Protein backbone atom coordinates (compact mmCIF):
# COMPACT_ATOMS: atom_id res chain seq x y z
CA UNK A 1 0.00 0.00 0.00
CA UNK A 2 2.88 2.41 0.76
CA UNK A 3 4.31 1.86 -2.73
CA UNK A 4 0.91 2.64 -4.26
CA UNK A 5 0.56 5.84 -2.25
CA UNK A 6 4.06 6.95 -3.19
CA UNK A 7 3.45 6.31 -6.89
CA UNK A 8 0.14 8.19 -6.89
CA UNK A 9 1.55 11.01 -4.75
CA UNK A 10 4.66 11.47 -6.86
CA UNK A 11 2.67 11.39 -10.09
CA UNK A 12 0.15 13.84 -8.64
CA UNK A 13 2.89 16.23 -7.56
CA UNK A 14 4.48 16.22 -11.01
CA UNK A 15 1.05 16.64 -12.65
CA UNK A 16 0.28 19.60 -10.39
CA UNK A 17 3.61 21.21 -11.26
CA UNK A 18 2.88 20.77 -14.97
CA UNK A 19 -0.60 22.24 -14.47
CA UNK A 20 0.91 25.27 -12.73
CA UNK A 21 3.51 25.75 -15.47
CA UNK A 22 0.86 25.45 -18.18
CA UNK A 23 -1.29 28.05 -16.40
CA UNK A 24 1.72 30.35 -15.97
CA UNK A 25 2.72 30.05 -19.63
CA UNK A 26 -0.79 30.60 -21.00
CA UNK A 27 -1.46 33.51 -18.62
CA UNK A 28 1.83 35.14 -19.60
CA UNK A 29 1.34 34.89 -23.36
CA UNK A 30 -2.46 34.78 -23.88
CA UNK A 31 -4.57 37.33 -22.01
CA UNK A 32 -8.29 36.54 -22.05
CA UNK A 33 -11.34 36.54 -19.80
CA UNK A 34 -12.06 33.03 -21.10
CA UNK A 35 -10.32 30.45 -18.85
CA UNK A 36 -8.20 29.03 -21.68
CA UNK A 37 -5.43 27.57 -19.52
CA UNK A 38 -7.83 25.30 -17.61
CA UNK A 39 -9.51 24.30 -20.86
CA UNK A 40 -6.11 23.48 -22.38
CA UNK A 41 -5.06 21.44 -19.34
CA UNK A 42 -8.31 19.48 -19.32
CA UNK A 43 -8.17 18.74 -23.05
CA UNK A 44 -4.48 17.73 -22.95
CA UNK A 45 -5.03 15.68 -19.79
CA UNK A 46 -8.01 13.94 -21.35
CA UNK A 47 -6.03 13.18 -24.50
CA UNK A 48 -3.16 11.82 -22.43
CA UNK A 49 -5.41 9.67 -20.25
CA UNK A 50 -7.05 8.23 -23.36
CA UNK A 51 -3.65 7.32 -24.82
CA UNK A 52 -2.48 5.83 -21.52
CA UNK A 53 -5.62 3.80 -20.93
CA UNK A 54 -5.50 2.40 -24.45
CA UNK A 55 -1.78 1.66 -24.28
CA UNK A 56 -1.76 0.14 -20.80
CA UNK A 57 -4.88 -1.86 -21.53
CA UNK A 58 -3.06 -3.46 -24.41
CA UNK A 59 0.42 -4.00 -22.96
CA UNK A 60 0.28 -4.03 -19.16
CA UNK A 61 -1.59 -6.01 -16.51
CA UNK A 62 -4.45 -4.53 -14.50
CA UNK A 63 -2.49 -3.09 -11.56
CA UNK A 64 0.77 -2.09 -13.20
CA UNK A 65 2.68 0.58 -11.22
CA UNK A 66 2.88 2.87 -14.27
CA UNK A 67 -0.93 3.08 -14.31
CA UNK A 68 -0.88 4.38 -10.75
CA UNK A 69 1.94 6.81 -11.45
CA UNK A 70 0.69 8.22 -14.76
CA UNK A 71 -3.10 7.78 -14.88
CA UNK A 72 -4.16 8.15 -11.25
CA UNK A 73 -1.24 10.35 -10.15
CA UNK A 74 -0.05 12.51 -13.03
CA UNK A 75 -3.36 12.92 -14.89
CA UNK A 76 -5.24 13.37 -11.61
CA UNK A 77 -2.83 16.12 -10.56
CA UNK A 78 -2.66 17.69 -14.01
CA UNK A 79 -6.34 18.00 -14.89
CA UNK A 80 -8.39 20.59 -13.12
CA UNK A 81 -12.09 19.87 -13.07
CA UNK A 82 -12.36 21.35 -9.61
CA UNK A 83 -10.95 24.58 -11.04
CA UNK A 84 -13.36 24.18 -13.95
CA UNK A 85 -16.29 24.08 -11.56
CA UNK A 86 -15.08 27.10 -9.58
CA UNK A 87 -14.45 29.15 -12.72
CA UNK A 88 -17.94 28.41 -14.01
CA UNK A 89 -19.43 29.28 -10.66
CA UNK A 90 -17.58 32.59 -10.72
CA UNK A 91 -18.68 33.32 -14.29
CA UNK A 92 -22.30 32.65 -13.33
CA UNK A 93 -22.00 34.79 -10.19
CA UNK A 94 -20.66 37.63 -12.36
CA UNK A 95 -23.63 37.40 -14.75
CA UNK A 96 -21.54 35.95 -17.58
CA UNK A 97 -23.96 33.12 -18.32
CA UNK A 98 -23.15 32.87 -22.04
CA UNK A 99 -19.43 32.59 -21.35
CA UNK A 100 -20.07 30.03 -18.60
CA UNK A 101 -22.30 27.82 -20.75
CA UNK A 102 -19.94 28.12 -23.72
CA UNK A 103 -17.04 27.13 -21.49
CA UNK A 104 -18.97 24.17 -20.04
CA UNK A 105 -20.04 22.85 -23.44
CA UNK A 106 -16.62 23.39 -25.02
CA UNK A 107 -14.83 21.64 -22.16
CA UNK A 108 -17.15 18.64 -22.12
CA UNK A 109 -17.13 18.16 -25.88
CA UNK A 110 -13.37 18.61 -26.28
CA UNK A 111 -12.32 16.51 -23.28
CA UNK A 112 -14.59 13.60 -24.19
CA UNK A 113 -13.39 13.80 -27.78
CA UNK A 114 -9.77 13.94 -26.60
CA UNK A 115 -10.20 10.75 -24.53
CA UNK A 116 -11.64 8.98 -27.56
CA UNK A 117 -8.89 10.30 -29.83
CA UNK A 118 -6.22 9.33 -27.33
CA UNK A 119 -7.62 5.82 -27.06
CA UNK A 120 -7.72 5.56 -30.85
CA UNK A 121 -4.13 6.86 -31.18
CA UNK A 122 -2.89 4.35 -28.61
CA UNK A 123 -3.54 1.60 -31.15
CA UNK A 124 -0.54 2.89 -33.09
CA UNK A 125 1.88 2.80 -30.15
CA UNK A 126 4.32 -0.05 -30.10
76 belongs to an annotated ligand binding site = yes
DSSP states along the chain: -HHHHHHHHHHHHHHHHHHHHHHHHHHHH---SS-HHHHHHHHHHHHHHHHHHHHHHHHS-TT-HHIIIIIIIIIHHH--HHHHHHHHHHHHHTT-HHHHHHHHHHHHHHHHHHHHHHHHHGGG--
79 belongs to an annotated ligand binding site = yes
Half-sphere exposure of 26 (CA within 13 A, CB side): 16
Binding-site residues for Na(+): 76, 79
* Binding-site positions: 76, 79
Amino acid sequence: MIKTLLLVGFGGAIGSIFRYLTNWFVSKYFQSSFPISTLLVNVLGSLLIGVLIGYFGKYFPENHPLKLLLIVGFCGGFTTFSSFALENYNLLQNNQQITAYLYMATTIILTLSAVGLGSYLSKYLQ
